Structure 1
Amino acid sequence: MSLFSARSAKAQMRDFNTMVGVVGGTNLGGTVKQFITQPGALDLLVYRRWKGTVAALLYEHHFDIREFRGLEWYVGAGGHYGMWRQPNGEPPWVYKIDQDYNAFGVDAIVGLEYNFNRSNFYLGLYWKPAYNFPDFTDFWGDEAAFTLRYSL
């Protein structure tokens, strides 16, 4: 390994482990991302959707886009659990909510994240398709959102 390679590898290493932020798009909520390895992170998303509350825990593997300084993409998977309480909930799979609904399932995620001039602020965009079990077996392919995160 040359001296140049060692310097560039060190320059791209993270000097933080945790990010907190907000999520907005088809959902609205918050996020906490904890890096557990250099490229790997656990991402907890808690958000409102269809007047209910959903929590998703995902593992994400990050990859640098070397041609664009500060930009990286990630891919991952995990699971979610959602709750809709009558009479306020509006899940799309029921005509009229007359009982409480809970749904859980598996998720995939793919996204981009951009760091502003080596600051603590990151702007991201993701697409997170999901599949529900058992009562509401259905594919949710429309979930996409922007994130604004701050590294601690």
Structure 2
Amino acid sequence: MRHFFIAVAIFLGVCSTGGSAKAQEYGNAIGIKFGTYSGITYKLFVSRENAIEAGFTFGNNTLGFTGSYQYFFPIKEVPHLNWFVGGGGHLIFISGHNSLWNDSNHDNNIALGVNGVGGVEYKFPEIPLNIGAELGPCINLADETKLNVHLGIFARYTF
């Protein structure tokens, strides 16, 4: 339970460091993501093409954080649609066995590693909402080395 409160405190601290930089159509977004890293997601654009994303993840016997730096590129043929690439890391606390994060049979592990990410997102022009999907490799470096692929879909309130 202590890990949960520490995780929430760090996530809220990251979210409260908002800025005034504006991207193509929004500067900040908060919402939900479903997939390998299901949970709450917050994105802050630090320039027109660059964003930082933080995630607080939970479910499937896990609790953790993800973070990435992303580069955005417009798809000119489709207004409001962008593709992005980036990289970052994850810190996942595991309670019990979870074959996605570790192959060992012992309980209470920590998965620490690096992530790549690529995806697309669409910002609705008339309402403060963006949706998207992402895919990328993630490599656990501790508690044990393991390669996974993460997949996610998301919806966020933009402001």
Q: TM-score, normalised by structure 1?
A: 0.81
Contact map agreement 2:115 2:138 (CA 8 A) in 1: yes
Contact map agreement 1:122 1:148 (CA 8 A) in 2: yes
Distance (whole Å) between structure 2 residues aligned to residue 145 and residue 103 of structure 1:
18
Deviations 1:6-57 (A, max 9, x none): xxxxxxx635321001001234211000000110000001212531113111
Is structure 2 residue 109 aligned with structure 1 residue 123?
A: no
Identical-pair percentage: 25
Is structure 2 residue 49 aligned with structure 1 residue 42?
A: no
Segment drifting more, 18-27 vs 28-37 = 18-27
The CA deviation at 1:84 is 1.1
Report 1:91-130 matches (<5 A): 91-92=98-99, 93-94=102-103, 96-97=105-106, 99-130=107-138
Contact map agreement 2:111 2:143 (CA 8 A) in 1: yes
Distance (whole Å) between structure 2 residues aligned to residue 90 and residue 117 of structure 1:
44
Contact map agreement 2:112 2:143 (CA 8 A) in 1: no
Per the alignment, residue 10 of structure 1 pairs with none
Q: Give the number of aligned pairs.
A: 136
Distance (whole Å) between structure 2 residues aligned to residue 111 and residue 120 of structure 1:
20
| Structure 1 residue runs without a partner (length 5+) | 1-12
Distance (whole Å) between structure 1 residues aligned to residue 157 and residue 56 of structure 2:
16
| Structure 2 residue runs without a partner (length 5+) | 1-22
Is structure 2 residue 152 aligned with structure 1 residue 150?
A: no
Contact map agreement 1:74 1:110 (CA 8 A) in 2: yes
Amino acid at match of 1:127: L
The CA deviation at 1:105 is 0.7
Distance (whole Å) between structure 2 residues aligned to residue 15 and residue 112 of structure 1:
15
Contact map agreement 2:110 2:142 (CA 8 A) in 1: no
Is structure 2 residue 158 aligned with structure 1 residue 139?
A: no
Relative to structure 1, is the Cα distance of residues 45 and 137 closer, same or farther in structure 2, using a 3 angstrom cutoff?
Answer: same
Per the alignment, residue 71 of structure 1 pairs with 81
Distance (whole Å) between structure 1 residues aligned to residue 48 and residue 114 of structure 2:
24
